[in-house]
Structure 1
Amino acid sequence: MKRDDAQDNSNLHTKKSIPPYMKAISGSLGGIVEASCLQPIDVIKTRLQLDRSGNYKGILHCGATISRTEGVRALWKGLTPFATHLTLKYALRMGSNAVFQSAFKDPETGKLSGHGRFLSGFGAGVLEAIVIVTPFEVVKIRLQQQKGLSPELLKYKGPIHCARMIIREEGFRGLWAGVAPTVMRNGTNQSAMFTAKNAFDVLLWKKHEGDGKVLQPWQSMISGFLAGTAGPICTGPFDVVKTRLMAQSREGGELKYKGMVHAIRTIYAEEGLLALWKGLLPRLMRIPPGQAIMWAVADQIIGLYERRYLHAAI
């Protein structure tokens, strides 16, 4: 009798599990919406991080300068690789995180510990950094650092042309420039983000995954926004170094930065400690709102699945 009860409980738990593919779909759709809304902030962040001579006085001055000298369309430079990158990144992040969480769940109780949630997020961040984030961001940053809109004056004519040029001039490894700081940044970011998002959902809204409760979009946005704030502060140096390593090419001689540690030392020696947090404010203007937008979309899709296919069958 006890064995039958245990089997029933096991079946109930299986029914309440949200499949990884649904997490992947929800994340990819959220990424499309986020990219469309926040691309100008990403362009400004990249320009500020690459600015060594103080041409830009701040976020507003940078945005105004780009609009005045290059046209408003320049604020959406790199949108195609950015949107594709976010769509694929969130699909892989949400899907792989769900797989890792399943692996770390207690086989008897089906519960996921805080330690398991943290490791699942870190694993998802590392995977997305290696497979998707690094090559897409290399192309995006090379496009964003180009000034002007006249195609004949630009080295890279578009994302595909940019990728081909990098491969031809620097080899396939050129598309993975800055992979080390990207792995560190994304692994740390996602471990903190998934842990914090779950904590805020429970703390603020008493929402537990699989309970059938669907958050209102504004509730998801608050939880996502708060969860997205800690990462940029902690990983600022990794993001600056990543951008510098991705932006440099072998054209015209030796590379200025030899690797992650060398780049950190060089930036600190030449520009001071605060330079390692360049672009922090636009990151805070982009990442927490981006997480708010993404989770507002993702939670609605996941909630719809829970109500229609999980709890309707119980």
Structure 2
Amino acid sequence: MDNKREQNPSPVPKKTIPPYMKAVSGSLGGVVEACCLQPIDVIKTRLQLDTTGTYRGIIHCGGTVARTEGVRALWKGLTPFATHLTLKYTLRMGSNAVFQSAFKDSKTGKISNQGRLMAGFGAGVLEALAIVTPFEVVKIRLQQQRGLSPELLKYKGPIHCARMIIREEGLFGLWAGAAPTVMRNGTNQAAMFTAKNAFDVLLWKKHEGDGKVLQPWQSMISGFLAGTAGPVCTGPFDVVKTRLMAQSRGGGELKYKGMVHAIRTIYAEEGLLALWKGLLPRLMRIPPGQAIMWAVADQVTGFYERRYLRNAPL
């Protein structure tokens, strides 16, 4: 009977990584990513906010910031950025695992590509509303300030910045640019989770729960490839998000009234390509960021698989 049971296992797999482990793996990956890639994020933000041609490109922008404001300026906004990434990846990885469980076929325990897309989109929308928007508003307000002398800066730090925004613009000032952020993150995560799984299977024959742990370089390749398509597709949403978050409601009439109005205004004043401003630094940041995050996350979940799932009874 035992042999027969081993030869005819239940079609529903019992060996799955719990959502809380996915959340932990994402949080650790977020910390490492933030520390490595913050300068590129600062450059991206400065390029997207540059309407007068002050910066001639990525290298010129980075060099100008370092020369005129000091090298430390390239890590402006690191505290909210690192906190934001840690919380974002915790919520993203955990909620995606929960959504995937909900979309799995009840008979086979498998999830379709459509289910992966829906789970990823749901995770992206949730993180955009709960974490990404308020943290990025604070980060962008800090990054757009020029200079290092505290007495000359309007915002003295992330907490002071958040308080000032709430006092001058109301609580919802922290959710400026929420609509394009939802569209950007939802689309990005739908594509990213689906692509990451596809590349793991295609390149390394890795299936979740099979006990196989990818080498860090393998995870980095899959993560890098999975993180490439999103920035190209969602560039306009990211530019509009940055412009909406950067403008202060305490300074009189707003230039951009909303997502659609911002797209039309940028197109009319600066041309079509302006909607993809900062694309190259995004491509320099997001795919490498995903590579770093997945290298860490896969090692954490891989440890769990080796320790608790590989020899777990079916």
TM over 0.5: yes
Q: SS of the residue aligned with 1:234?
A: helix
Distance 1:207 1:175 in 2: 41
CA-CA distance at 1:311 after TM superposition: 1.3
- Does the Cα contact within 8 Å between 2:12 and 2:109 map onto a contact in 1? no
Instruction: Tell me whether 1:44 sits opposite 2:43 in the alignment.
Output: yes
Per-residue CA distance 1:221-250 (angstroms, 9 max, x = gap): 000000000000000000000000000002
Match of 1:23 in 2: 22
Match of 2:311 in 1: 312
Structure 1: where are the runs of 5+ without partners? Answer: none
Q: How many residues align?
A: 310
Give RMSD over aligned pairs: 1.5
Distance 1:179 1:45 in 2: 19
CA-CA distance at 1:274 after TM superposition: 0.1
Instruction: Tell me whether 1:157 sits opposite 2:156 in the alignment.
Output: yes
Equivalent residues in 2 for 1:62-141, closer than 5 Å: 62-141=61-140
Structure 2: where are the runs of 5+ without partners? Answer: none
Over 2 Å off, 4+ runs? 8-12
Match of 2:145 in 1: 146
Q: SS of the residue aligned with 2:197?
A: helix
Equivalent residues in 2 for 1:113-262, closer than 5 Å: 113-262=112-261
Q: SS of the residue aligned with 1:88?
A: helix
CA-CA distance at 1:313 after TM superposition: 2.0
CA-CA distance at 1:216 after TM superposition: 0.3
CA-CA distance at 1:162 after TM superposition: 0.2
* Letter paired with 2:243: R
Distance 1:150 1:270 in 2: 33
Provide the TM-score with structure 2 as the length reference. Answer: 0.97
Distance 1:255 1:192 in 2: 33
Distance 1:10 1:48 in 2: 55
* Letter paired with 1:251: G
Q: SS of the residue aligned with 1:110?
A: coil
Distance 1:286 1:182 in 2: 17
- Does the Cα contact within 8 Å between 2:26 and 2:90 map onto a contact in 1? yes
Per-residue CA distance 1:37-81 (angstroms, 9 max, x = gap): 000000000000000000000000000000000000000000000
Match of 2:265 in 1: 266
